[in-house]
């Protein structure tokens, strides 16, 4: 139709892409064919222990144990007396991923393939969570973001910077909100075992320093990506498919009682769940639905490949292709903008709901995030 043609000619990058300094996030601009997104391949993993120490192995892997048909998990149990909370004012930036890269350089550089012997054979290095934010941007109406990008030896490193609004929110959380953040971790404790033959231990301590992270490689159109994401657990059947297909993402959500609640769940929550798990190729999400008192009353499995069908009947709903095309165009935008290759330079990309993406460049600033030990290791 005419309208579509108008949107088309007014491309996401304006008339002259090279001179354009902003990127639009309007949905209509990204409604085209789904871009190539290669099946993500796990190239490694790492663990963070109860004191947030890094290990280049899977010691923190946990195993999914399917709950009863009618669970009765009290998510409030242990909040006061068996909870060790990670200090989320400590900004770790990309440090854990960079440690993994240093320890596993040979796994990402097929011998002889790289032009420069120590350059990384990928275009982007980042956290999965940052890519999730990019995927959901065309539909986000509440929270903006700041993404710092440094180009170093041809690779673009993307690390989030906390916005002022996010910092205020973190520092002013209500007691109820603090407790509700615990509920997700408590649900993990009810459904995860430490090894294939043991059972979950709901009497233990919840320590949010602990994490198991997968590192995957994939390609979005012409962008070669290396990213890491935290994985909750895996299928305990030894015959389950190889990672990441054996992984299970756990979520909690408020019980759905009305059509309005169901619609909101489809339109907002399933978007976030889909984006987060689609990226690393995690095939299923197990959701615990809880009542107002924090008791899980039912559990349901969502297959990521079926979510787009589930939402099709929703009016004015989100579309996976818009998410992926926006992310792809943002990465192209980054490649065009971030021209200076230096660990001392950061390009800060900034976005607020209903606005375009803008950027600014900073040399030797507070935003620098590639640690000296990494730069030295990769320059040697």
The answer to whether residue 140 forms part of the interface with ligand 0WD (CB under 6 A) is no
Cα–Cα distance measured from residue 185 to residue 117, given in angstroms and rounded to the nearest whole number:
42
Residues 22-41 that bind ligand 0WD (CB under 6 A): none
The answer to whether residue 277 forms part of the interface with ligand 0WD (CB under 6 A) is no
| Residue 243 in tokens | 């990672």
The answer to whether residue 352 forms part of the interface with ligand 0WD (CB under 6 A) is no
Task: Indicate the burial class of 74 (C-beta count within 10 angstroms; 0-12, 13-18, 19 or more).
Answer: middle
The region of 13-21, 84-92, 261-269, 322-330 touching ligand 0WD under the rule CB under 6 A is 84-92
The answer to whether residue 276 forms part of the interface with ligand 0WD (CB under 6 A) is yes
Are 73 and 187 in contact, with CB atoms under 8 Å apart?
yes
CB-nearest residue to ligand 0WD = 129
Q: Least distance to ligand 0WD from the beta carbon of 207, Å?
A: 11
Contact pattern from residue 152 through residue 191 relative to ligand 0WD, giving x for each residue in contact according to CB under 6 A and a dash for the rest = --------x-----------------------x-------
Residue 351 interface partner, choices ligand 0WD, Ca ion, none, CB cut-off 5-8 Å depending on type: none
Task: Indicate the burial class of 143 (C-beta count within 10 angstroms; 0-12, 13-18, 19 or more).
Answer: middle
| Residue 369 in tokens | 């995030």
Contact pattern from residue 34 through residue 73 relative to ligand 0WD, giving x for each residue in contact according to CB under 6 A and a dash for the rest = ----------------------------------------
Residue of 220, 218, 216 whose CA lies nearest to 228: 216
Residue of 227, 204, 201, 211 whose CA lies nearest to 280: 227
Cα–Cα distance measured from residue 275 to residue 323, given in angstroms and rounded to the nearest whole number:
8
What DSSP character marks residue 26? -
Helix (H) or strand (E) holding 127: strand 124-127
For ligand 0WD, the closer of residues 124 and 127 by Cβ is: 127
The answer to whether residue 128 forms part of the interface with ligand 0WD (CB under 6 A) is yes
Among 230, 314, 352, 356, binds ligand 0WD (CB under 6 A): 230
The answer to whether residue 86 forms part of the interface with ligand 0WD (CB under 6 A) is yes
Among 44, 67, 144, 229, binds ligand 0WD (CB under 6 A): 229
Sign of the alpha-carbon dihedral angle for 96, 101, 103, 108: positive
Q: Least distance to Ca ion from the beta carbon of 88, Å?
A: 16
Helix (H) or strand (E) holding 64: strand 63-64
Cα-based distances in Å from 16 to 127, 221, 334, 338, 351: 31, 21, 16, 17, 21
For Ca ion, the closer of residues 94 and 250 by Cβ is: 250
Strands 206-207 and 192-193 turn out to be unpaired
Residues that bind ligand 0WD (CB under 6 A): 86, 88, 92, 127-129, 132, 160, 184, 208, 211, 229-230, 251, 276
């Amino acid at each position: 139709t005419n309208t579509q043609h108008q949107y088309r000619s007014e491309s996401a990058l304006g008339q002259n892409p090279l001179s354009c300094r902003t990127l639009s996030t309007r949905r209509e601009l990204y409604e085209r064919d789904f871009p190539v997104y290669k099946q993500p391949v796990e190239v490694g993993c790492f663990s963070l222990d109860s004191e947030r120490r890094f290990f280049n192995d899977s010691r923190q892997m946990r195993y999914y144990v399917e709950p009863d048909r009618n669970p009765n998990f009290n998510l409030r149990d242990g909040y006061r007396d068996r909870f060790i909370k990670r200090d989320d004012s400590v900004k770790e930036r990309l440090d854990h991923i960079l440690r993994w890269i240093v320890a596993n350089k040979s796994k990402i550089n097929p011998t002889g393939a790289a032009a420069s012997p120590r350059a990384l054979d990928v275009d982007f290095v980042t956290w999965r969570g940052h890519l999730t934010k990019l995927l959901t941007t065309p539909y986000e109406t509440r929270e903006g973001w700041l993404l710092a990008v440094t180009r170093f030896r041809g690779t673009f490193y993307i690390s989030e910077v906390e916005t002022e609004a996010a910092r205020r929110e973190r520092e002013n959380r209500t007691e109820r909100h603090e407790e509700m953040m615990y509920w997700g971790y408590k649900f993990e404790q009810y459904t995860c075992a430490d090894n294939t033959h043991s059972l979950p231990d709901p009497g233990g301590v919840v320590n949010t320093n602990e994490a198991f992270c997968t590192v995957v490689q994939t390609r979005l159109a012409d962008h070669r990506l290396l990213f890491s994401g935290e994985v909750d657990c895996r299928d305990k059947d030894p015959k389950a498919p190889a990672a990441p297909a054996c992984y299970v993402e756990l979520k909690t959500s408020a019980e759905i009682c009305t059509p309005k609640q169901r619609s909101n769940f489809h339109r907002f929550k399933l978007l976030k769940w889909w984006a987060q798990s689609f990226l690393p190729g995690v095939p299923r999400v197990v959701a615990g639905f809880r009542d107002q008192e924090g008791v899980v009353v039912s559990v349901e499995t969502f297959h990521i490949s079926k979510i787009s069908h589930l939402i099709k009947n929703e009016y004015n709903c989100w579309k996976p292709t818009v998410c992926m095309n926006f992310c792809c165009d943002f990465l192209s935008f980054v490649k065009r903008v971030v021209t200076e290759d230096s660990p001392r330079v950061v390009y800060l990309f900034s976005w607020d709901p209903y606005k375009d993406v803008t950027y600014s460049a900073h040399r030797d600033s507070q935003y620098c995030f590639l640690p000296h030990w990494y730069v030295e290791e990769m320059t040697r």
